[in-house]
Structure 1
Amino acid sequence: MSLQTTLRGTGVALVTPFDAAGSIDFNALERVIDFVIDGGVQYVVTLGTTGETPTLSKEEKKDIAVFTFEKVNSRVPVVVGAGGNNTAEVIKEMAYLPCDKAAAILSASPYYNKPSQEGLFQHYKAIAANTPAPILLYNVPGRTGRNLEAKTTLRLAHDVANIAGIKEASGDMAQCMQILRDKPENFLVVSGDDALVLPQVACGMEGVISVAANSFPKQFTSMVNACLNGDFANAKKLNDQLIEGYELLFAENNPAGVKAAMQILGLIENEVRLPVVPLSEGLYEKMKDYVGRLS
């Protein structure tokens, strides 16, 4: 079955709940999984960067992935995150994690070392040659420091087996439209920008991997579904209610914003791992007011 069928719509990049001692709160993670699935998401992403993977140990990552598969229990597909700036270690991580059960592997492009476009191509080519599941490229230059250019994405899409799609979070609409115009027919393109989903679906994207769907799954998935059904008038009404939420979620740091919202909703503790810190008091109060008005 094509990823365009299994991963069409709203995916959610799950947060990793922590308790006051800084340990993973698996009871809270189960609540979050049930909350987003009941809220209508089409699939979940475990070990995305919203899950604070840079601060998780190897063992914690595996425990989270195994737990997520168990608690999702085939209700929706599961995508596993495995990316980084050490190509050989990414390949080892894919073998260590339960990626063979995944609908796809979401792999963020290398950060900090800023490889050339040829370096990015060779990185993904090597990963794709060693993957147990289809690879979704993840382009987020605001975090990685290097844009995966449209020409490189399209080269990977056309020339490399097992490269099945992309989460495109450059925010560059011209780049997005070029990919959508020239991609292979069965290549999945989803948004990585909650605030741009409406126009990006209008241009041809097939959904989103979302942060906001952790805290506002019902409202957000309703908006995305309306977009995918071509009902952009209703989608705009729903999106207008969410614009303030997008701004609050990302005003200081992700996932500090979404974790604050989820704590207000009673799902998790408001705990993050350094170097991320919780929302400032003033922004937290604004989030509390917004969550109360939205729900």
Structure 2
Amino acid sequence: MSAFLKGTGVALATPFNSNGSIDYKGVESLVEYCINGGVEYMVVLGTTAESVTLSKEEKKELVQYIVKINNKRLPLVIGIGGNNTAAILEEMKDTDTSDFDAILSVVPMYNKPSQEGIYQHYKMINDQSPLPVLLYNVPSRTGTNMSAETTLRLSKLDKIVGIKEATDDFTQVLRILKDKPKDFLVISGDDALALPLVAAGGDGVISVIGQGFPEEFSNMIRLGLSGDTKEGFEILYKLLPVLDYAFEEGNPAGIKNILKKKGVCDDYLRLPLVPVSNDLADKIGEFVKSN
């Protein structure tokens, strides 16, 4: 059912114009760049999309446009999450998910629920979701870590098909891999750790940097999945400097500058995010030029 989520998914950024409006020409350019680069699927309205700064109407228009440009060429995942369970259920009901294959939903941020609260939150989503659901654990952003025990407990629910795991505790990832149900997907949310996670038995990545270097990154993950980790690590080590650059001054500022240097789209962001510094932009430019 969820085999399409193996390999490399990319969390699409949202290109903007200088006046802050959505740059639909840039959106088309980015989608085509990712598809032509060989990624397996695309994630719409994730954190990298600056989705918290998009209005309801903008989200609707952006989703419709990406669906149209994609034209069923790749599977699509939509981000629907937050820290108000009732509002998420309402958003799922109001969103046309007919062209999507799964929902990615982040651990509630800011209000710091207990593990039982996290479980009950996702159980409600599981019970009402029209699509398979991917959990998303990213403690550095949410302020709350979903434990391996809670993940494994949730893995028994019928609509919960996997997790995008972005904890910096790799032992936690190993605990999930060790005890998960056979068909439960473990997907990296950390680009630098994606190949090690695949080598340990994981299923791939939902990547930020993958949209900047789609061919190289998706090839690296495919090598890892096929057991050719030595060749995969050669690609990872080559990309390691730009992985640091992409997150040095925050996401998506880094990846947007990479995309600008690649000629895919411009690097405008919405406040409170700002473009990368001139020093970092120069380092990114030198890497892109030499690779």
Which residue of 248, 252, 256 corresponds with 1:251?
A: 248
Q: Is contact 1:100–1:132 with CA below 8 Å preserved after alignment?
A: no
Q: Is contact 1:256–1:276 with CA below 8 Å preserved after alignment?
A: yes
Aligned partners of 1:233, 1:156: CA distance in 2, in Å? 34
> How does 1:32-47 map onto structure 2 within 5 Å?
32-47=30-45
Residue 173 of structure 1: CA displacement?
Answer: 1.1
Aligned partners of 1:100, 1:115: CA distance in 2, in Å? 31
Residue 131 of structure 1: CA displacement?
Answer: 0.6
Which residue of 142, 166, 169 corresponds with 1:169?
A: 166
Q: Which residue of the partner structure matches residue 101 of structure 1?
A: 99
Residue by residue, what CA displacement relative to the aligned partner does 1:42-65 show, whole Å, maximum 9, x if unpaired? Answer: 000000110001111111111111
Q: Which residue of the partner structure matches residue 9 of structure 2?
A: 11
Aligned partners of 1:60, 1:108: CA distance in 2, in Å? 20
AA aligned opposite 2:140: G
**Residue 27 of structure 2 is aligned to residue 29 of structure 1:** yes
Aligned partners of 1:113, 1:28: CA distance in 2, in Å? 35
Residue 172 of structure 1: CA displacement?
Answer: 1.4
Q: Which residue of the partner structure matches residue 226 of structure 2?
A: 229
Aligned partners of 2:147, 2:237: CA distance in 1, in Å? 30
Aligned partners of 1:66, 1:184: CA distance in 2, in Å? 35
Aligned partners of 1:157, 1:100: CA distance in 2, in Å? 24
Q: Which residue of the partner structure matches residue 155 of structure 1?
A: 153
Aligned partners of 1:283, 1:28: CA distance in 2, in Å? 22
Q: Is contact 1:136–1:163 with CA below 8 Å preserved after alignment?
A: yes
Residue by residue, what CA displacement relative to the aligned partner does 1:66-120 show, whole Å, maximum 9, x if unpaired? Answer: 1111111111100000000011111111122222331110001100000000000
Which residue of 110, 113, 117 corresponds with 2:111?
A: 113
Q: Is contact 1:260–1:284 with CA below 8 Å preserved after alignment?
A: yes
Secondary structure in 2 matching 1:102: coil
Secondary structure in 2 matching 1:61: helix
Q: Which residue of the partner structure matches residue 236 of structure 2?
A: 239
Which residue of 264, 267, 272 corresponds with 2:261?
A: 264
Q: Which residue of the partner structure matches residue 75 of structure 1?
A: 73
Which residue of 262, 273, 276 corresponds with 1:276?
A: 273
Aligned partners of 1:20, 1:154: CA distance in 2, in Å? 45
Which residue of 48, 51, 59 corresponds with 1:50?
A: 48
Residue by residue, what CA displacement relative to the aligned partner does 1:215-234 show, whole Å, maximum 9, x if unpaired? Answer: 11111111111111110111
Residue 284 of structure 1: CA displacement?
Answer: 0.6
Q: Which residue of the partner structure matches residue 63 of structure 2?
A: 65
Q: Give the % identical residues.
A: 48
Which residue of 87, 90, 102 corresponds with 2:88?
A: 90
5+ long unaligned stretches in structure 1 = none
Q: Which residue of the partner structure matches residue 206 of structure 2?
A: 209
Residue 12 of structure 1: CA displacement?
Answer: 0.3
Q: Which residue of the partner structure matches residue 293 of structure 1?
A: 290
Q: Which residue of the partner structure matches residue 216 of structure 2?
A: 219
Q: How many residues align?
A: 291
Aligned partners of 1:272, 1:214: CA distance in 2, in Å? 17
Q: Is contact 1:14–1:51 with CA below 8 Å preserved after alignment?
A: yes
Q: Is contact 1:137–1:167 with CA below 8 Å preserved after alignment?
A: yes
Q: TM-score, normalised by structure 2?
A: 0.98
